[in-house]
Amino acid sequence: MAFSSHTDKPARLHAPAAIGAVLAQVGRSALTKARIALKTLQMARMMSTLSNMSDHQLAQIGISRSDIPNYAEKLMAND
The answer to whether residue 9 is domain-embedded is no
d(CA 28, CA 26): 6
The answer to whether residue 6 is domain-embedded is no
pLDDT, one tens digit for every residue, the chain (79 residues): 455 555 555 556 567 777 878 788 888 888 899 999 999 999 999 999 999 999 999 999 999 999 999 999 998 887 6
SS3 call for 3: strand
The answer to whether residue 1 is domain-embedded is no
Tally of domains within the chain = 1
The answer to whether residue 19 is domain-embedded is yes
Burial of 47 (0-12, 13-18, 19+ CB in 10 A): middle
The whole-number pLDDT of residue 30 equals 87
- Tell me the residue range of the domain where 70 lies: 15-77
The answer to whether residue 64 is domain-embedded is yes
The answer to whether residue 35 is domain-embedded is yes
Report how far apart the first and last C-alpha atoms of the chain are (Å, whole number). Answer: 45
pTM above 0.75, yes or no: no
The answer to whether residue 2 is domain-embedded is no
The whole-number pLDDT of residue 69 equals 94
The answer to whether residue 7 is domain-embedded is no
